[in-house]
Amino acid sequence: MRRTPITSSSTTSTALSAAKKKSAEPKETEMEIRDRILAEIDSGMRQYPSWISEYGEPQDEFLLDDDDDGAIDASTLGQWDEKDLQDKFDYEWNPDEGDQDPNNLDPAYEYAAPFQLDEEGIEVGYNPIFGRSNPIDGRAILNPPDSYVIDKKTRDDRLVPKEFPDGDIEIKANEDVIALRKSLKIIETHTDPFLKMEVPNHMAKWHGYPEQLSFPKQDYMNNRFTKPEDRTDFDKLGPARARQLAVQLARARNNEWLPEGTSEAYHASKTAIYKEKGVLTGSTLPGKADPEVVAKIQPALDVLGDVVELLSIEADTVFRFKYHGLIKNKRGMSAWAGVLIRNCDVDCTGVVFETGFRKRDPAYDGGSHWYGPY
């Protein structure tokens, strides 16, 4: 009879208990693993692999900044306070506070002419659309300073090797050549890799214009209507009373900013010349118009609509209109109006569209200066 092998129950229970103990043990953290590995390396139990030299020593990664002798210690930098904000850079200057302009040229050097001219007398790099573009201007230095190593004011002969032995005749010749080259006052330049043009090597640094932190100060009485003896001194009033009086003056029709009758007198002065000379051309003042001729050209007026308004008929054949359309269409509309009037069997030798002081329409032409006046 064949026997079936039976597994020992004691062996199975031993393996299960060992697995439970292993799972119950706490796992090592990364710091503990690191310390264990470093301890094995120090004791000689663990050896470096052959490729570790390419990446440096492992313990170098765990060095603290305090271990570096050249590390910056924050305690040696001093204490920061509000006085640090009082210091200014070279480009931070305010002429109102009496600061000197850092852009002023140093009188110890000579500078090139503000504008370089070519053989034809035209400014180099000038473009009628984009203006000046020549990098060589009045801030280019003609006699730049030498290096402090060789400059006569700062050089130390003990540290600079001699170019020629004492008593050599080349010393005088070399000095003459250097003096000649400096007397030519040639501007040293180099080709800028981005601009692709010659740029001077030595320039007086430009620090820019002063930063405008607020609107420029203006005279408190900068209006043209109030007399000095009639002005309201708001500084002597309290905040509540000053605000109340300002609201009253703003809501009044004859406030001190625009006394009564000032606007009417201003506009009357603009049209006085027409009444004095007896001329209507150039103004929008109405004149005389023959009712019969007006009746004949009524079809043309209906077509033009509200774009024009008939002012007068001069010399029986010249028609003056007040034009309300766009300025850029003024010339074409006047030509078309002349055709419409002639189609009504009326003699027309000229059409004048009056626009008064309106020379352009910035709200419609985008503010372009190429429109008008026509």
Which residues are paired to 189 by β-bridges?
Answer: 200
Q: For residues 254 and 260, what is the distance between their CA atoms, to the nearest angstrom?
A: 5
Mean pLDDT, all residues of the chain: 80
Higher per-residue pLDDT: 257 or 170 = 170
Please check whether residue 197 is in contact with residue 104, taking contact to mean a CB–CB distance below 8 angstroms.
no
pLDDT for the residue numbered 340: 94
Higher per-residue pLDDT: 76 or 308 = 308
Mean pLDDT of 298-324: 93
Burial class for 300, CB neighbours closer than 10 Å (0-12, 13-18, 19+): buried
Which residues are paired to 188 by β-bridges?
Answer: none
Mean pLDDT of 119-132: 85
Tell me the H-state helices in the chain: 9-24, 30-43, 170-184, 239-251, 262-277, 291-296, 298-304, 330-343, 362-365
Positive or negative, the CA dihedral 168, 169, 170, 173 is: positive
DSSP codes joined into one string, 297-335:
THHHHHHHGGGEEEEEEETTTEEEEEE-S-GGGHHHHHH
Please check whether residue 329 is in contact with residue 280, taking contact to mean a CB–CB distance below 8 angstroms.
no
pLDDT for the residue numbered 223: 62
Buried b (16+ CB within 10 A) or exposed e, 20-34: eeeeeeeeeeeeeee
Higher per-residue pLDDT: 278 or 370 = 278
Q: How confident is the model at residue 359 (pLDDT cuts 50, 70, 90)?
A: confident
Please check whether residue 199 is in contact with residue 135, taking contact to mean a CB–CB distance below 8 angstroms.
yes
Q: For residues 25 and 170, what is the distance between their CA atoms, to the nearest angstrom?
A: 89
pLDDT for the residue numbered 369: 52
Positive or negative, the CA dihedral 19, 21, 23, 29 is: negative
User: What six digits make up the tokens of 242?
Assistant: 């000053």
pLDDT reading at 63 higher than 60: no
Higher per-residue pLDDT: 355 or 261 = 355
Mean pLDDT of 160-166: 82
All residues at 6 or more sequence positions from 206 whose CB lies less than 8 Å from its CB, including other chains: 103, 139
Identify the top-confidence range among 117-131, 143-157, 306-320: 306-320
Identify the top-confidence range among 147-156, 183-192, 278-287, 364-373: 183-192
pLDDT for the residue numbered 18: 59
pLDDT for the residue numbered 334: 94
SS3 state of residue 102? coil
